[in-house]
Copies of this chain bind each other. A is one copy, B any other.
Amino acid sequence: MTEDSSTHEIVTAAIVIIGDEILSGRTKDKNIGFIADYLTALGIDLKEVRIVPDEEPEIVAAINAVRARYTYVFTSGGIGPTHDDITADSVAKAFGVGIDHDPRAVKILEDHYAPRGIELNEARLRMARIPFGADLIENAVSKAPGFRIGNVHVMAGVPSVLQSMMDAVAPTLKTGTKMLSETIPAGLPEGIIAAPLGAIQKAYPATIIGSYPYHDGTRYGTNLVVRARSAEMLTEAANAVRDMVAGLTPAT
Contact = CB atoms under 8 A, between A and B. Distances in A.
B215 A83 contact: no
A23 B50 contact: no
A99 B53 CA distance: 35
A185 to B, nearest CB: 13
Contact of A142 (B1, B160, B194, B220): B220
Nearest to A46: B23
Interface residues of A, number: 72
A155 to B, nearest CB: 14
A168 to B, nearest CB: 18
Contacts of A193: 82, 123
Interface string A148-186: 000000000010110000000000000000010101000
A187 interface: no
Nearest to A53: B47
Interface in A124-163: 124, 126, 141-142, 158, 160-161
A210 B123 contact: no
A123 B195 contact: yes
Nearest to A209: B84
B210 A84 contact: yes
Contacts of A225: 21, 26
A121 B195 contact: yes
Contact of A25 (B17, B27, B33): B33
Contact of A48 (B48, B52, B123): B52
Interface of A: 1, 17, 20-29, 32-33, 36-40, 45-55, 58, 80-85, 118, 121-124, 126, 141-142, 158, 160-161, 179, 181, 183, 190-195, 197-198, 201, 208-215, 220, 222, 225, 227
28 contacts: A23-B45, A23-B49, A24-B46, A24-B227, A25-B33, A25-B38, A26-B183, A26-B225, A28-B33, A48-B52, A50-B50, A54-B210, A80-B190, A81-B191, A82-B197, A82-B198, A82-B222, A84-B201, A84-B210, A84-B211, A85-B211, A118-B191, A121-B192, A122-B195, A126-B194, A141-B215, A142-B215, A142-B220
Given A17-B49, A54-B210, A124-B191, 9 more contacts: A21-B212, A21-B225, A23-B46, A25-B46, A32-B51, A123-B194, A123-B198, A142-B215, A158-B213
